Structure 1
Amino acid sequence: MGERILVLDAGTTSTRAMLFGADGVLHHVAQRALTQHYPRPGWVEHDPGEIWQRTLACAREVVEKAGGAEAVAAIGITNQRETVVAWDRNTGEPLTRAIVWQDRRTADVCGKLREVVHEAEIQRRTGLVLDPYFSGTKMRWLMDNDAAVRAAAERKALALGTVESWLVFKLSGGTFVSDASNASRTLLLPLDGAQFDAGLCDLIGVPHTALAHVVDTHGTLAETNAEVFGRAIPVCGLAGDQQAATVGQGCLSPGETKATYGTGAFVLTNQGDVLPRSEHRLLGTVLTQREGVRRYALEGSVFVAGSLVQWLRDSLGLISAAAETEALARSIPDSGGVTIVPALSGLGAPHWQADARGVIAGLSFASGRAQIARAALEAMAHQTHDLAEAFAADGAAWQTLRIDGGMSANDWMAQDLADMLSVIVERPDFVETTALGAAMLAAVGVGTHASLEDAARAMRGKVRRFEPEMAASTRDERLARWRKALAAV
């Protein structure tokens, strides 16, 4: 058996397979786009069959490039969190489209729940707030509105799970598990509870019998059918994308913080074995679990980051490629007073307003492509600054910020973050830390490395630092404009 780690990274807009060495070197990549379905305003859906088929195609392509399954020691899987798949346990076929994490259709469900339960008690138990973002209310919506889902529940054949659970089920031919990091995003798992809680399931309206068995994030978690790759390969790492990125950034000690700028933006601060408690609308989440022992993180979630740039490109036609934004931002001294509040799918932490909608403020005849592009990038630092204030108020002030994700490759944005946050920003040369973190989890799970700390020493690469340079008066003026625009939302 080889020592390579096969990572399946099922994201929001695409799915990939990546093959890593034990030293963290990336050897092969295959990628396929995922179709986005928007049947109504605020609704976002995926085809679960497409997720599976395209992920499998990527995986087989990479395994073939590696010379066959004998080269692969283990599989690690990381995924878009909170996206819900419903399928028939007997046939293994999806019952309906998946409801994607960005989907806001359950705002009314959340509102009705607030009438019967104290939200602070839900947050104390689960670390989460009552928001459409989380998986449990999506599961409830499917039970209430989809006849095929209800019928499967009545036959005791319903499986409700997040994307990692769906992929493991298909790869293994029926193993139904969910790792603790993904399970902690459902509203159905107490932060200190080993399994999904029947009382929380009854409260949210989700059948407990339709849920998976909660397992560790690393260890021997499942095994693929031999027919899938030519031999059985153990699945030894499972984690939601943001937890995987935190591991990939080497944020393994309490206080260490990372921010991932992808479709959305997600900041996690390692809390060690202390149950995370927030008084400022941040989230508590499971970071990792090994042999039942959990490590936790405090999290702030921003719904719109890279998707704002994608919107400028695809819907407004202001740019032809995301990379253009850096040159446009550098071409002018400031945004000319233009400020964007990118609430295209509501506001996440620390505001949590599901019905908020985006605003472009400060437009004049002097405003053009460059000003709007720069304002879009500035919005990343503005949203992150709101999170930084909330983390500090909860006693978790950032000393440095480690950034990753597709948007972090933009040097202008990285420097703007350092300037607006007044902290040193670190960016690894290899910014695909979500996949790297899944590889590290699987490498420890299969025994290639003894611990995540050992894996981080062996597999992480070089880091570039961005130090604050902006005058305080400039920063204050920017923040004043941001707060005025935010108030309008």
Structure 2
Amino acid sequence: MLGDCGGSFIAALDVGTTTVRCQIFNSSADTVGAAQKQIRLHYPHPGWVEMKPDEIFADILQVIRNAVETAKIPYAQIKSLGISTQRATFVTWKKDTGECLHNFITWKDLRAREFLNALNASWRMIFFRFGALLIYWLTRNKKFGMGSKLKIMSSHVSGRFLWVLQNIESVKKALKSDNLMFGTLETWLIYKLTGSCQYVTDISNASATGFYDPFDLNWGTVAKLLRIPVRCLPMVVENDYDFGNVDESFFGVPIKIACVVGYCNFNVIHFYF
């Protein structure tokens, strides 16, 4: 198989908007292997931008395998895997089977634009902003100061997720039977790679949803205001949380997932041995 060159290595996976990339680093932080593949985006309607879950997962596995092959090392020498993903791209799936209920809806998708215009102009949002402003005047609490300026944007997950909850029948059915799971890209990827053992989101990805409370550090006030069902949301964890291991069925050995972070410059993400 692959030659053993000694030592330990880390794999850094980056799932961006247009490209999946993986680099293998040695203990001196030298790149010893790399691979990449372009992501196929789908445009079923004007303004809609999607990714197919099966396609993106197959691409991710293939890119990791290709990177390890170019590094000429066995998988057993990979000490850990670090993951960086695009933020605000999400999917929902069934709790009992893991079946995705629709394609990934990317952060570039504009299907909820008209819905959000109506929501932001609604009496509910106007009352909320005015009430938050009054409390801010009385308390000078920054949380309420931010609340007084709350506006849901298309780039946030919140509006597109609300659109899904209202317009996709299979999602409505799964929610009603408490069989719905929601996740941004990294949540779903961790869930898949760990063989359904980990259902979490890291804090950098949670913060891009538009309904995570950065003051209380939980799914709080905004989620309740928007009537987003908190029971179907993953647990929010730190970037260096114990994410478990990649199931050995994928690469023949378990590989520790050491770090997960929302998308940023690939070259400034630090993974530690």
Instruction: Tell whether the structures are fold-level matches, with TM greater than 0.5.
Output: yes
Secondary structure at the counterpart of residue 73 of structure 1: strand
Q: Secondary structure at the match of 1:221?
A: coil
Structure 1 alignment gaps of length 5 or more: 246-433, 449-489
Q: CA deviation at 1:127?
A: 9.5
Q: Secondary structure at the match of 2:244?
A: strand
Are residues 16 and 207 of structure 1, via their aligned partners in 2, closer, same or farther at CA, if it must alter by over 3 Å?
same
Answer yes or no: is the 8 Å Cα contact 1:7–1:19 preserved in 2. Answer: yes
Aligned to 1:90: 96
CA distance in 2, matches of 1:36, 1:65: 27
Does residue 1:226 correspond to 2:226, yes or no? no
| Partner Cα distance (1:26, 1:214) in 2 | 31
The one-letter amino acid of 2:183's match is: G
TM-score, scaled relative to structure 1 = 0.48
Counterpart code for 1:158:
L
SS in 2 for 1:220: coil
For 1:154 and 1:218, the matched residues in 2 are separated by 34
Asked if the contact 2:200–2:237 (Cα under 8 Å) also holds between the matched residues in 1, the reply is yes
Q: Percent identity?
A: 29
Give 2:157's aligned amino acid. Answer: S
Distance in 2, matches of 1:215 and 1:127, equals: 27
Distance 1:123 1:38, change over 3 A: farther
- What SS is found at the alignment partner of 1:81? coil
Q: CA deviation at 1:200?
A: 2.3
**1:216-240: CA deviation from partner (whole Å, max 9, x where unpaired):** 1124223211222222111111111
Q: Deviations over 1:286-329 (max 9, x none)?
A: xxxxxxxxxxxxxxxxxxxxxxxxxxxxxxxxxxxxxxxxxxxx
Match of 1:54 among 23, 46, 59: 59
Aligned residues: 250
Q: How does 1:336-355 map to 2 (within 5 A)?
A: none
The structural deviation recorded for 1:2 is 4.8
Q: Which of the numbers 183, 197, 204 marks the counterpart of 2:206? A: 183
Match of 1:158 in 2: 180
Contact 1:83 1:101 in 2 (8 A): yes
Higher-RCO chain (CA-CA 8 Å, sequence separation at least 6) = 2
Residue matched to 1:478: none
Q: Is the 8 A contact 2:32 2:70 kept in 1?
A: no
Contact 1:14 1:34 in 2 (8 A): yes
Q: Any conservation in 1 of the 2:7–2:27 contact (CA below 8 Å)?
A: no
| Matched residue type, 2:268 | G
The answer as to 2:56 corresponding to 1:34 is no
CA distance in 2 between counterparts of 1:200 and 1:222 reads 30
Instruction: Tell me what 1:71 maps to.
Output: 77
Change (3 A) 1:127 1:183: farther
Question: What is the CA–CA distance in structure 1 between the aligned matches of 2:166 and 2:29, rounded to whole Å?
Answer: 45
**Residues 220-270 of structure 1 deviation map (CA, whole Å, 9 limit, x = unaligned):** 22321122222211111111112xx2xxxxxxxxxxxxxxxxxxxxxxxxx
Q: In the TM superposition, what are the counterparts of 1:287-302 in structure 2 within 5 Å?
A: none
Distance in 2 (alpha carbons) for counterparts of 1:181 and 1:22: 27
Structure 2 vs 1, CA of residues 68 and 110 (structure 1 numbering), >3 Å: closer, same or farther? same
For 1:104-129, what per-residue CA distance to the aligned partner results, in whole angstroms no more than 9, with x for missing partners?
A: 11122322332222586588259974
SS of residue paired to 2:268: helix
Residues 72 and 126 of structure 1: CA distance in aligned 2, closer, same or farther (over 3 Å):
farther
Amino acid at match of 1:41: P
For the Cα contact (< 8 Å) 2:202–2:260, is it kept in 1?
A: yes
**CA separation of 1:60/1:130 partners in 2, compared to 1, >3 Å: closer, same or farther?**
same
| Contact 1:106/1:141 (<8 A) preserved | yes
Report the secondary structure of 2:243's partner residue. Answer: strand
Gap regions ≥5 residues in structure 2: 1-5, 133-143
Letter matched to residue 33 of structure 1: Q
Flag the 1:126–1:171 CA change in 2: closer, same or farther, 3 A: farther
Tell me the distance in 2 between the aligned counterparts of 1:48 and 1:110.
Answer: 26
What residue number does 1:437 align with?
268
Alignment-derived partner of residue 135 in structure 1: 157
Between the aligned partners of 1:64 and 1:18, the Cα distance in structure 2 is 11
1:164/1:32 Cα in 2 relative to 1: closer, same or farther (>3 Å)? Answer: same
- In structure 2, the partner of 1:206 is 228
Letter in 2 for 1:204: L
